[in-house]
Chains A and B, each alone.
Chain A
Amino acid sequence: MKYPALMFGIFILFTGIVLSATAAAAMDSSLPCAGGDGYISEDDLSEAVCDYMLGEGKYSLDDVGDAAYIYKFWDGKPKTITDQHDRKVTFYRPIERIITTNPDNSRMIIALGDLDKMVATDECTRSGCVLYRDINDEKIAVEAWESLQIHDGGQLDNLPETNTRKEIDYETMAILKPDVVIDTLWYSRGDAVEEKVGCPCVDAGAGFTFEEMFDHMQLMGEILDKQERADELENFAQSKIDMVKSVTDQLDESEIPTVYFAPRGAKKGFYDAVEGRDFTRTEAIYEPLTIAGGNNVAKDCTGDNINVGPEQIVVWEPDYIFVAMSTSVEVSGVQFVMDTPELSEIPAVKNNHVYDCFYPYCRGRPIDRSLMNMLYMAKCLHPEEFKDMDLEAEGNEIYKEILGADGVFTALVEYQPFPKQVY
Chain B
Amino acid sequence: MSVKKITMMLLVLAMVGIMVSPLTLASQAEVTGITRSVPANFATGEEIEISLTIEGNAPIMVGLVENIPEGFSFPKKDSDISDAKHFKVDRKTGKIVFSVMDEKEISYKVIAPSSAKGDFTGYWVDLLVQTPELNEGKERWKPVIDPTSSSPNKGMSSFASDQENIPVSTEPKTPGFGAVFSSVAILACLLISKNNLNGGNNK
Contacts and interface: CB of A to CB of B under 8 A. Distances in A.
Contacts of A61: 125, 136-138, 140, 169
Nearest to A1: B201
A83 to B, nearest CB: 19
Interface in B130-163: 130-132, 134-138, 140
Given A52-B63, A72-B128, A8 B177 contact: no
A227 to B, nearest CB: 6
Interface stretch (B4-12, B43-51, B96-104): B96-104
A293 B109 CA distance: 74
B2 interface: no
Contact of B130 (A2, A55, A75, A96): A96
Contacts of B181: 15-16, 19
A177 B88 CA distance: 33
A60 interface: yes
Where chain B touches its partner, the secondary structure class is mixed
Given A46-B85, A228-B27, A72 B22 contact: yes
Given A49-B63, A151-B132, A64 B88 contact: no
Interface in A39-95: 42, 45-46, 49-55, 60-62, 64-65, 68-69, 71-73, 75, 94
Residue of B27, B61, B134 ringed by the most chain A CB atoms within 10 A: B61
B185 interface: yes
Nearest to B22: A73
Contact of A68 (B65, B127, B136, B184): B127
Interface residues of B, number: 54
Interface in A1-51: 1-2, 4-5, 8-9, 12, 15-16, 19-20, 22-23, 26, 42, 45-46, 49-51
A268 interface: no
B4 to A, nearest CB: 24
Nearest to A62: B136
A49 B87 CA distance: 9
A75 B88 CA distance: 24
B99 A50 contact: yes
B86 interface: yes
B135 A62 contact: yes
A134 interface: no
Nearest to A98: B132
Given A49-B99, A60-B137, A62-B136, A8 B191 contact: yes
A68 B128 contact: yes
Interface string B50-92: 0000000001010111000000000000000000011110100
B186 to A, nearest CB: 11
B195 interface: yes
Given A54-B95, A117-B132, A2 B201 contact: yes
B90 A54 contact: yes
Contacts of B61: 68-69, 71-72
A416 to B, nearest CB: 35
A15 B185 CA distance: 10
A97 interface: yes
Contacts of B29: 72
Contacts of A392: none
A23 B87 contact: no
Nearest to B130: A96
A334 interface: no
B3 interface: no
A50 B88 contact: yes
Given A15-B184, A69-B130, A23 B86 contact: no
Given A5-B200, A227-B23, A53 B65 contact: yes
Given A49-B63, A96-B132, A5 B23 contact: no
B26 interface: yes
B22 A50 contact: no
Contact of B188 (A9, A45, A69): A9
Given A16-B181, A61-B140, A228 B63 contact: no
A116 interface: yes
B184 A12 contact: yes
Interface in B161-178: 167, 169, 171, 173-174, 177
19 contacts: A4-B200, A5-B200, A15-B181, A19-B177, A23-B177, A45-B99, A50-B98, A54-B65, A62-B134, A68-B61, A69-B127, A72-B26, A72-B128, A73-B23, A94-B130, A96-B131, A119-B132, A228-B18, A228-B23
Q: Top 9 closest A-B pairs, CB basis?
A: A46-B86, A68-B127, A49-B99, A53-B97, A46-B99, A68-B61, A50-B88, A53-B65, A53-B63
Interface of A: 1-2, 4-5, 8-9, 12, 15-16, 19-20, 22-23, 26, 42, 45-46, 49-55, 60-62, 64-65, 68-69, 71-73, 75, 94, 96-97, 116-117, 119, 151, 177, 225-229
Interface of B: 18, 22-27, 29, 59, 61, 63-65, 85-88, 90, 95, 97-99, 101, 125, 127-132, 134-138, 140, 167, 169, 171, 173-174, 177, 180-181, 184-185, 188, 191-192, 195-196, 200-202
Given A19-B180, A73-B25, 7 more contacts: A2-B202, A46-B99, A49-B63, A50-B99, A64-B63, A69-B128, A71-B61
